[in-house]
Structure 1
Amino acid sequence: MSHRNARLTVHGRRILVERVRAGRPVAHVAAEMGISRPTAHKWVRRWRAEGEVGLVDRSSRPRTTPHRTPARVEERVCRLRSDRKLGPARIGPILGLPASTVHRILVRHGLNRLAHLDRPTGRRIRRYERDRPGELVHVDIKKLGNIPHGGGWRVVGRTAGDRNRQATTTERRSSSPVIGYSYIHSAVDDHSRLAYSEILSDERKETAAGFWKRANAFFAAHGITVERVLTDNGACYKSKLFTRTLATAGIAHKKIRPYRPQTNGKVERFNRTLLDEWAYQRPYTSNNERTQALAEFLHTYNHHRSHTALAGQPPISRVNNPAGQYT
């Protein structure tokens, strides 16, 4: 992967090659593109030898690693981790290895986090991912308390917060003002993690069905044809209206097993990101201010924010299918 300050991306290398193919001197093209002559000659030479594939980044991993820990030792490290759940600081003295070496071995084999292991058996928990965008979309709802005009008590203090609540609404329950809730409906594509969210006033079946129509249009605008939708067993999703809305568009509806929210984990994890990086990211003085900030967050999440499950790339990188990624 090119670093963020790289002069040449794959697209830039194609431009370089096209200009050289047109008969331009390599030195002139290098000067125009702000790169050195050796760099320009390197990419032209790779293109001539390998074609289009030669313009793609190569792995920086060495061909041989003579000082790597022997495989039998790595196997013992993995066995101690899986069977006894020991960490690097305890495995190291047992095998006579530095803790840092043990940690690198565990990372290499995907055993560095105990959360990734099934505690009773010591086996790695299998993480699934669909093969292409649209094959499965996760849908869920997150409920958030509304913000009174002027800010809540966490921002302005209890006295001013109570005063803002009294001024914001005339609805009362046991003499206390009722601010109510907002419902964030979200849809996340399983393969690309492309996300779409709306802040709505309730979680009724008509609201959920209307949200899905707009979410489906959003995915379609990005070239994604949704095949299957996964939801929990909320009343709005169990309704005939929601299922019929999906069926009309030729989409299958799947519901998770009761009390197993992990099955819908991708949108559940997105909900947590929503809270950390949007809802609670900074103090808001009104519901409108928080609502307006959602669009900016979604654009950043989909187009710019690096995603650990996508090798540090944003979700849009998988939607645009660079270099035939999921053909």
Structure 2
Amino acid sequence: MTTKRKVARRKMSLLELATELGNVSKACKIMGYSRQQFYEIRRNYQTFGAEGLLDRLPGPQGPHPNRVDETVEQAILDYCLTHPTHGPLRVAQQLALQGVQVSSGGVRGVWSRHGLLTRHERLLRLEKSVREQRLELSDEQIRVLERFSPEFRDRHIETSHTGDLVAVDTFFVGTLKGVGRVYLQSVIDCHSRYAWGRLYTTKLPVTAVHVLNEDVLPFFEEHAARISTVLSDNGREFCGRPDKHPYELFLQLEGIEHRTTQVRRPQSNGFVERLHRTLLDEHFRIKGREKWYESVEEMQEDLDSYLNHYNRERTHQGRGMNGRVPFQAFLDGIVMGEAEAETTEEAA
């Protein structure tokens, strides 16, 4: 309720109290009004009804009689948007050439009502107007922008089936007292979001090979699936001379293609980066405050327990997951991969 409405209600209460008591003086004394005010309130109520109880400013209501028309005001605002540095006299003279008659004082009055009296304020209005404009790009312009600025387009890593792309990375977990630095070798299937992880005290090619050989590949073989491509950054544990580097040699022996991300662009390996964020928020930052670890083996036991929950019990909200758990998506992706292979064979 506005202040005017509250005052009108109080005046109505005064009239009702005077009627109930049958004594105007006593009602005015209780409500804090004078007798002159009471009779003025009653006269307004009898003449105009409930609207007469609202306080009104003295003098005529509405816009000033000398105020310019709305069409003239809009013409002034439009002109000042294209020529914000012109003074009021120049604006009035230029508008006169366009058939709009207004004085320089009228221009200043319009500027005053809209907070545009200074040149700086008019320039800020122009800047705001340009900033709010939306550009409609043609298909050709969009293709040119995508060609010269890859960040312009909305990109996603596309996978067709389980094992189509597996992302790997090394993540620094922290320092364990008496043990030293602890690293996580993380692996995630980009199609199903099924994840594996092992903790080590070093980040070497042998540790990157170990997690693949001991955990990831046996799991794929158990479910009659295979890995087509591995995506990693350019770390030394993953990249080197193809004929000498242990990780490169291992992937060649397994018939797995190796791709690398752009240098200093962790976004291009977004699946595993998002996995690290989840592990931090839901596991490491919690367990690190609940338990006092003395060995990497203790940390690995708790990590295995969480990964089992992550893969088989925790619904995933990622793109294309539709609330499934990663294990179910892993199995569904195997069926999809077999169906695609059969279709390819039939087409051949």
Residues 22-74 of structure 1: CA deviation (Å, up to 9, x unaligned): xxxxxxxxxxxxxxxxxxxxxxxxxxxxxxxxxxxxxxxxxxxxxxxxxxxxx
Point out where structure 1 has 5 or more consecutive residues left out of the alignment: 1-82, 87-119, 149-168, 170-178
Which one-letter code corresponds to 2:309 in the other structure? T
Point out where structure 2 has 5 or more consecutive residues left out of the alignment: 1-130, 135-148, 340-348
Q: Which residue of 2 aligns with 1:180?
A: 180
Which one-letter code corresponds to 1:219 in the other structure? F
Q: Is the 8 A contact 2:180 2:201 kept in 1?
A: no
Give the total of aligned pairs.
183
Q: Does 1:297 align with 2:302?
A: no
Residues 256-311 of structure 1: CA deviation (Å, up to 9, x unaligned): 11111111110111011111111112322114443221111110111011111211
Task: Spell out the pairing of 1:298-313 with structure 2 (5 A cutoff).
Answer: 298-309=307-318, 310-313=321-324
Q: Could you tell me how far apart the structure 2 residues matched to 1:130 and 1:180 are? A: 38
Aligned-residue Cα RMSD (Å) equals 2.7
Percent identity of paired positions between Structure 1 and Structure 2: 30
Q: Does 1:138 align with 2:167?
A: yes
Task: Spell out the pairing of 1:186-225 with structure 2 (5 A cutoff).
Answer: 186-214=186-214, 215-225=216-226
Q: Could you tell me how far apart the structure 1 residues matched to 2:186 and 2:232 are? A: 11
Q: Could you tell me how far apart the structure 1 residues matched to 2:267 and 2:151 are? A: 19
1:236 is paired with a residue whose SS is coil
Return the offset for 1:321: 1.9
- Find the structure with the greater CA-based Rg: 2
C-alpha spacing 1:84/1:208, structure 2 compared with 1 (3 Å): farther
Q: Is the 8 A contact 1:231 1:254 kept in 2?
A: yes
Which one-letter code corresponds to 1:315 in the other structure? P
Return the offset for 1:198: 0.6
Q: Could you tell me how far apart the structure 2 residues matched to 1:146 and 1:293 are? A: 17
Task: Spell out the pairing of 1:4-23 with structure 2 (5 A cutoff).
Answer: none
Task: Spell out the pairing of 1:236-247 with structure 2 (5 A cutoff).
Answer: 236-239=237-240, 240-247=245-252
Q: Could you tell me how far apart the structure 2 residues matched to 1:122 and 1:295 are? A: 36
Return the offset for 1:131: 0.7
Q: Is the 8 A contact 1:147 1:285 kept in 2?
A: no
1:280 is paired with a residue whose SS is helix
Q: Is the 8 A contact 1:184 1:200 kept in 2?
A: yes
Q: Could you tell me how far apart the structure 1 residues matched to 2:331 and 2:308 are? A: 15
Q: Which residue of 1 aligns with 2:236?
A: 235
Q: Is the 8 A contact 2:192 2:333 kept in 1?
A: no
Q: Is the 8 A contact 2:161 2:333 kept in 1?
A: no
C-alpha spacing 1:291/1:323, structure 2 compared with 1 (3 Å): closer
Task: Spell out the pairing of 1:47-62 with structure 2 (5 A cutoff).
Answer: none
Which one-letter code corresponds to 2:282 in the other structure? E
